[in-house]
Amino acid sequence: MKLADARAALREARHVAVLTGAGVSAESGIPTFRDAQTGHWARFRPEDLASPGAYFRDPALVWEWYAGRYRDVTRAQPNGGHALLTQLEREKGDGFFLATQNVDGLHTRAGSGAAGGQLVELHGNLTTARCEVCDWTADLPAPDHFTPPPSCPDCGGRMRPNVVWFGEDLPETALAAAATAFAGADVALIIGTSGVVYPAAGLAAEALRRGAVAIEVNPVETNISWQMTFAVRDVASRGLAALLGQEP
């Protein structure tokens, strides 16, 4: 398949399912999980901060780390890749589905999920917290007014970061929605994710099995490249601009 064919497939698709990963956030300056371990935090492994065991042992430490990441993502801005996905959602309406592995909330800030289609955050969102007692989810206060840990506005219980930790399952409803969307997609887009992290490979494979065109956007080859119909070897913003026939 050539770029012109991929473009045509995307233009004519009624149902588009998208999966995004860290590569989309990288252009906004959001460091990957491991790259975020600098300075004081360099001596911790992510597993020592982002796991139920770590939180049980030292909730204050884990919250301090998340508060720092929350400040970082609040300062960051959505980039051209986020904006083009919102534009695509506007074009496809309820035929558009976006699942992201990113927890920075940048897709939401760029308008995804509010332009006629659906957005699910498979790994949660670190700009929100979830009650340990009653499961209530709430936005964190602005970084300047935020002292962790937050208390539940509903029951007063302690709240935890609303992200999926090592050793925890992905949210079932979000996963089920993604599986349904990819199974029914005419075009599946896999953007900025290595394919190692579950469930990227499975979603792409299911879309292909049902006859979809699967397009990867990634500057480097990944574990799932071999099964793709077409690949754009570029960063998300430029790769999407090429697929949508626009100047980045």
Residues taking part in catalysis: 123
Q: Does 114 bind Zn ion (CB under 5 A)?
A: no
Contact stretch for Zn ion (CB under 5 A) within 78-86, 92-100, 101-109, 151-159? 151-159
Sites for Zn ion among residues 154-213 (CB under 5 A): 154-155, 157
- Bond prior to 149 in cis (omega within 30° of 0): yes
Contact stretch for Zn ion (CB under 5 A) within 113-121, 143-151, 152-160, 180-188? 152-160
> What is the size of the binding site for Zn ion (CB under 5 A)?
8
Which amino acid belongs to residue 144? D
Nearest to 191 by CA among 117, 90, 101, 79: 101
Read out DSSP for 34-78?
Answer: TTT--GGGGGS-GGGTSSHHHHHH-HHHHHHHHHHHHHHHHH---
Min dist CB 126 to Zn ion, Å, is 19
Min dist CB 133 to Zn ion, Å, is 5
Nearer to Zn ion, 131 or 240 (CB): 131
**Does 152 carry a binding-site annotation?**
yes
d(CA 170, CA 186): 25
Q: Does 151 bind Zn ion (CB under 5 A)?
A: no
Min dist CB 141 to Zn ion, Å, is 16
Min dist CB 50 to Zn ion, Å, is 22
Which amino acid belongs to residue 66? Y
d(CA 24, CA 20): 7
Q: Does 136 bind Zn ion (CB under 5 A)?
A: yes
**Does 236 carry a binding-site annotation?**
yes
d(CA 88, CA 229): 20
**Does 28 carry a binding-site annotation?**
no
d(CA 16, CA 244): 13
Given the rule CB under 5 A, which residues bind Zn ion?
Answer: 131, 133-134, 136, 152, 154-155, 157
